[in-house]
C-alpha cells in the first residue's frame, strides 16, 4: 500500500510498492533513487518544517494575544506598554516573569521591548557596582589630596586667626591701659 504523497512524488517507503515500481523491495527502485526525486523530497520536507514553524508561531501568538487582552481587561493597562519611559521597569518585569515561569508573560515583555527597540537586559549590575566602587575610591583619593593640600592652608589660617585674636586682646589691654593712664594723668 502507498500513500497519496508517495504516489504524487513517485516515492515509497521500504516495504511498500507503488505503480511502476521496478525491482523487488530489496533492490533499489529507479524512481526512488532518482536524484531529482531526492531534491523534490528535500523541498517537501523543508515546506513541512516551515509549516510546523508557522503553526507554532500562529498558536503561540494567538495565545499571547488572548493573554494580553485578558490582562488589559483585568488590570486596565490601556496600552501603557506603548509609553517610552518605562524601559528599566520593563526589563525588571521581564526578569521577574522569567523567575515565575510563564512563557507567555515573558514573551509579552519581550514583545514590548521589541516594539520600542530596547535590549532585554538592563546594564550589568556587577559592572555598575564596580563603577560605583571606582568612583567612591576616586572621591576618597580626591578628598585625601584635598586634605593634603588644604591642611597647611588651614593650619596657616588657624595661626593667623589666633594671631588676630591675640592682637585683639592686646588692643583691648592697650585701650584699658590707655584709659587708666589718661585717668591718672587727669587726676594729676
Q: What is the pLDDT of residue 4?
A: 44
Domain residue ranges in the chain: 131-188
**Are the beta carbons of 55 and 92 closer than 8 angstroms?**
no
Give pLDDT < 50 ranges for the chain.
1-5, 7-12, 14, 18
**Are the beta carbons of 131 and 109 closer than 8 angstroms?**
no
63-77 pLDDT, tens digit each? 999 999 999 999 888
Q: What is the pLDDT of residue 2?
A: 46
**Are the beta carbons of 15 and 25 closer than 8 angstroms?**
yes
**Are the beta carbons of 64 and 111 closer than 8 angstroms?**
yes
Predicted model pTM = 0.45
CA-to-CA distance for 123 and 127, rounded, in angstroms? 8
CA-to-CA distance for 9 and 40, rounded, in angstroms? 8
Q: Select from 109, 110, 103 the least CA-distant residue to 63.
A: 103
Q: What is the pLDDT of residue 125?
A: 60
Amino acid at each position: 500500500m502507498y500513500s497519496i504523497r508517495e504516489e504524487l512524488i513517485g516515492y515509497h517507503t521500504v516495504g511498500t510498492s507503488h505503480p511502476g515500481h521496478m525491482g523487488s523491495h530489496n533492490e533499489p527502485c529507479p524512481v526512488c533513487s532518482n536524484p531529482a526525486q531526492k531534491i523534490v523530497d528535500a523541498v517537501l520536507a523543508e515546506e513541512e518544517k516551515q509549516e510546523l514553524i508557522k503553526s507554532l508561531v500562529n498558536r503561540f501568538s494567538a495565545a499571547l494575544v488572548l493573554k494580553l487582552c485578558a490582562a488589559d481587561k483585568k488590570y486596565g493597562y490601556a496600552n501603557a506598554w506603548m509609553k517610552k519611559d518605562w524601559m528599566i521597569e520593563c526589563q525588571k518585569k521581564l526578569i521577574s516573569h522569567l523567575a515565575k515561569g510563564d512563557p507567555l508573560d515573558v514573551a509579552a515583555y519581550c514583545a514590548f521591548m521589541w516594539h520600542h527597540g530596547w535590549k532585554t537586559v538592563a546594564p550589568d549590575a556587577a559592572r555598575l557596582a564596580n563603577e560605583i566602587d571606582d568612583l567612591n575610591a576616586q572621591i576618597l583619593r580626591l578628598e585625601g589630596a584635598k586634605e593634603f593640600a588644604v591642611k597647611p592652608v588651614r593650619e596657616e589660617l588657624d595661626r593667623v586667626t589666633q594671631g588676630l585674636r591675640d592682637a585683639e586682646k592686646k588692643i583691648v589691654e592697650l585701650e584699658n591701659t590707655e584709659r587708666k593712664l589718661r585717668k591718672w594723668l587727669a587726676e594729676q
